[in-house]
Amino acid sequence: MEAMEVMVEADLHTHTVGSGHAFGTVMENVRAAHEKGLHALAITDHGPGMADGPRPYYFRNLHILPQSYMGVMILKGVEANIAGSDGSIDLPAEIARDLDIVIAGLHPACGIEGRGLDWNTQAMTAAIRNPLVDIIAHPGNPEYPVDFEACVLEATRYNKAIEINENSFFARPGSVERCVVVAKLCAQHGTLVSVASDAHSPWNVGEVSRALKLALDAGVRREQIVNASMDNLTRFLTMRRKRLEMWRR
């Protein structure tokens, strides 16, 4: 099948040793991305709200990394923790706004346990409206149930991407069926989608084949997948820049 062979040109969710429980350096991850034929890689270590995540200054300092290496564009980002029902994230705005890409998600041990579906949905939809945020991480995670349709509709309205996370299929049991539902809603509403590895080691960088197949099988079109091509990615990054320019004023 054609669809199976369609690769992506970017991976927008990867962790380095900076996250404390991941195993690749930036350079090792970029090298892996190059070897797998990717043209762009986002470095998105966990936000400071996670106990072993890097401190805020780590993210402020990411700008010292080169724009690209071995032909791979290096996007400086974060996987921030959604920190409140107001959609706030655990990185100061003046740092987050200067990053190339911000993912936000609900995570354990960040003070939001056991709030339930209504609270989770309120927090996630508010995070989607947060101008600093571009992508919602693993909404299919059964640990944090949300109203999928409410989140997908909000993402559609605000041109934010919903993530289908390859790592969830292994690390978050029960995610596959839920991701199918999410992907079908994204297909139905024309929502932007990121198919991401969530790699915690260089070996997993660019490994998105199951997430990609799940999205395509659900009817998501390639044009909706922000990391499918460099053209799609450029459009997505331009939207972020314009949104934050407006926000600064």
CA distance 160 to 151: 10
- Residue number, 50 or 186, with CB nearest to Zn ion: 50
- Residue number, 50 or 187, with CB nearest to Zn ion: 50
- Residue number, 210 or 235, with CB nearest to Zn ion: 210
Cβ(87)–Cβ(125) under 8 Å?
Answer: yes
Residue in this structure with the two tokens 């190339």, named with its chain if needed? 100
Q: Tokens for 54, please give them.
A: 């890097």
Residues 151-210 that bind Zn ion (CB under 5 A): 198
137 binds Zn ion (CB under 5 A): yes
Q: What are phi and psi of 173, to 5 degrees?
A: -55, 140
CB of 167 to Zn ion, least distance (A): 7
Cβ(59)–Cβ(78) under 8 Å?
Answer: yes
Q: Which stretch binds Zn ion (CB under 5 A): 32-40, 104-112, 151-159, 177-185?
A: 104-112
105 binds Zn ion (CB under 5 A): yes
CB of 157 to Zn ion, least distance (A): 23
135 binds Zn ion (CB under 5 A): no
Cβ partners under 8 Å of residue 244, min gap 6 = 97, 131, 132
Where does the chain show beta strands of DSSP type E? Answer: 10-11, 40-46, 68-69, 72-81, 101-105, 135-136, 161-165, 192-196
From 11, 79, 90, 163, residue interacting with Zn ion (rule: CB under 5 A): 79
Helices (H) and strands (E) counted in the chain, each on its own, are 10, 8
Residues 216-245 that bind Zn ion (CB under 5 A): none
CB of 79 to Zn ion, least distance (A): 5
Q: Which of 215, 154, 206, 226 is nearest to 179 (CA)?
A: 215
Q: Which stretch binds Zn ion (CB under 5 A): 65-73, 74-82, 204-212, 220-228?
A: 74-82
- Residue number, 137 or 185, with CB nearest to Zn ion: 137
- Binding residues for Zn ion, per CB under 5 A? 79, 105, 137, 198
